[in-house]
Amino acid sequence: MIRKLALALALGLAATQVQAADKLTVLLEWFVNPDHAPLVVAKERGLFEKAGLDVELLPPADPSIVPRAVASGQAEVGIHYQPNLYLDHAAGVNLVRFGTLVETPLNSVTVLADGPIKSLADLAGKKVGFSVAGFEQVMLGRMLENAGAKKDGVELINVNFALTPALISGQVDATVGGFRNFEHTQMKLEGKTARAFYPEENGVPVYDELIFVTRPDLLKDDRLKRFLGAVEEGAIWLTNHSDEAWALFVKAYPNLDDALNKQAWVDTLPRFAKRPAALDRERYARFGAFMKEGGLIDKAPAVEDVAVELQ
């Protein structure tokens, strides 16, 4: 009788533990790729489960819907870009950053290494391909000004998302917006070598490329702190065990087991935030001022209106 009671209690406790996992939907900014490594590692190693969370990593059907989907409650967490956070705030989208995934810019201005462009000043009078209007154009303008060139001295051509093909084919002389951890390897795999100019080295304030956002009324929700704790544990384990982490990643997503993603894995590794909950207020203030100076927003928001460190 005692053994049966003990077994019943054990089964009841296990059921309670299963039921205690709190659902959390994370809307990605794009399809799953090595940029999401700490999240995939946390999920595959059971770190979210250990934190009492049932986390769903959900790629969006349309990446442009992510901020409004999170703001409207369709997901608790979204992965977003720091530059876009200011644009959304100015447009009245109710979002706030509460964590960081990739803590350095990935964006770059890219040219062919064996081509005529040896410096940013050489872009004067040249064609530059881009994918998304707005921030990338302002970023390029600041980089050109920093190099002593006129920001309106280039011809901008919308090549949609075919940045690498447009550059390799000679349709454009340079591209802006290509991620240094993907496009440069893509060029190499196609027999071309890239030369890159990085915004943070050419007059643009450093910023976080990928951040975690939520709506303000969820900031006191304990799920968010537990989520960041698991992401941090995943990022640290990934740093210490890169090869094992890669094996976990491609086991979960076998369609990504190719040369491009394997190199992107290596190139992205040092860029993940090891303290995802930490907030550099001065960095956010500087970047808000840059967005205003570039005419992208009318007023730089107070840091606490767009970014917080969970208490």
Pairing outcome for strands 210-214 and 96-102: antiparallel
Instruction: Judge if 249 and 294 occupy the same domain.
Output: yes
pTM of the model: 0.92
Strand, helix or coil at 58? strand
DSSP state of 32: S
Instruction: Judge if 76 and 217 occupy the same domain.
Output: yes
Instruction: Judge if 232 and 215 occupy the same domain.
Output: yes
Q: Is residue 183 part of a domain?
A: yes
Domain end call among 182, 201, 220: 201
User: Both tokens of residue 237?
Assistant: 């384990």
pLDDT number for residue 19: 54
Instruction: Judge if 66 and 116 occupy the same domain.
Output: no
Ranges assigned E (strand) in 46-173: 53-58, 77-81, 96-102, 107-112, 127-130, 155-158
Q: Which range of residues forms the domain containing residue 150?
A: 107-201
Residue burial 43-60, b: 16+ Cβ < 10 Å; e: rest: bbbebbbebebebebbeb
* 270 backbone dihedrals φ, ψ, rounded to 5°: -75, -5
Q: Is residue 14 part of a domain?
A: no
pLDDT number for residue 13: 46
* 129 backbone dihedrals φ, ψ, rounded to 5°: -85, 145
Domain end call among 184, 201, 218: 201
pLDDT number for residue 153: 86
pLDDT number for residue 311: 84
Instruction: Judge if 212 and 225 occupy the same domain.
Output: yes
pLDDT number for residue 285: 98
Instruction: Judge if 69 and 114 occupy the same domain.
Output: no
Tell me how far the alpha carbon of residue 137 is from its chain's centroid.
19
- Using N-to-C axis directions, what is the helix angle for 242-252 and 37-44, rounded to 10°? 80
What's the CA gap between 70 and 53, in Å, rounded? 18
**CB-based contacts of 275, cutoff 8 Å, min separation 6:** 232
- Give the chain's residues under pLDDT 50: 1-11, 13-18
**Residue 6 CB-density burial (10 A; 0-12 exposed, 13-18 middle, 19+ buried):** exposed
Q: Is residue 5 part of a domain?
A: no
Q: How many domains does the chain have?
A: 2
pLDDT number for residue 202: 97
User: Both tokens of residue 16?
Assistant: 């309670």
pLDDT number for residue 152: 83
Task: Give the domain CATH number at 151.
Answer: 3.40.190.10
What's the CA gap between 62 and 60, in Å, rounded? 5
